[in-house]
Amino acid sequence: MKTNAELQKDVQDAIRWEPAMHAAEIGVTAKDGVVTLSGTVDSYSKKINAELATKNVTGVRAVAENISIDYGFTTKKNDTEIAQDVLNAWKHNWEVPDNQIKVKVEDGWVKLEGEVNWKYQDEAAKDAIKNLSGVKGVLNLITVKSPAINAVEKKDLEYALKRNWSINANDVKIEVNQNKVKLTGLVHSMYQKDEAGRLAWNTPGVSSVENELAVIY
């Protein structure tokens, strides 16, 4: 198991490896597998990329993200301009369904509401905002309501987990209640936990996923 100092250095190196990141912008502390990120960056995408880079480091069990965004005055946009940029970004993305998601912007924070059929549509709507100037954060309240299926087929998700090279399916316990899935058990990285959750959401008929997988080393 890594020491706190070793984990801190590995996360710092992972952030430094990201082409668009300046490691000096991000403060990193680590304690017992919990990594805290702090500092100030000049874009929302840097904030997201720092978090993703941290999650992929072996030894990270949880991430506390306290990064703030300061665009300065030269690129400051008002909320109306940001909202229009969001709509324009969605217009050119086939994965975002038309007229199913509402957007509200307040002081640079983008609030998303609505209902979609698949989790990937929800993710696409959120990801399209990542590189927009002026965005300070995203509050995602989109709900997923999959096409009517009587119940999720547990075996479909079991097969999906077995096919994935990064996950030991024997470590993951799946509970299915109609259209709801709950994952418990043990995995060995934040990446594996997120990947198992993604596969669960991709299962036809799923309306909610409780990802309670514990990360151990």
Angstrom distance (rounded) from CA 40 to CA 69? 5
184 in a structural domain: yes
Instruction: List all residues 6 or more positions away from 46 whose beta carbon is below 8 Å from its beta carbon.
Output: 20, 21, 25, 67
Predicted confidence band of residue 151 (pLDDT cuts 50, 70, 90): low
Same domain as 102, residue 59: no
149 in a structural domain: no
Same domain as 158, residue 134: no
Could you give the number of structural domains in the chain?
A: 3
Predicted confidence band of residue 214 (pLDDT cuts 50, 70, 90): very high
119 in a structural domain: yes
74 in a structural domain: no
Reduced 3-state DSSP string for 7-69: HHHHHHHHHHHCCCCCHHHEEEEEECCEEEEEEEECCHHHHHHHHHHHHCCCCCCEEEEEEEE
**Residue 138 tokens, joined:** 């995203």
Whole-structure pTM value: 0.75
Predicted confidence band of residue 123 (pLDDT cuts 50, 70, 90): very high
> What sign results for the dihedral spanned by CA atoms 182, 187, 191, 196?
negative
Counting DSSP H helices and E strands in the chain, the numbers are: 6, 10
Domain edge (last residue) among 124, 144, 164 = 144
135 in a structural domain: yes
Predicted confidence band of residue 73 (pLDDT cuts 50, 70, 90): low
- Domain holding 159, by residue range, is 154-215
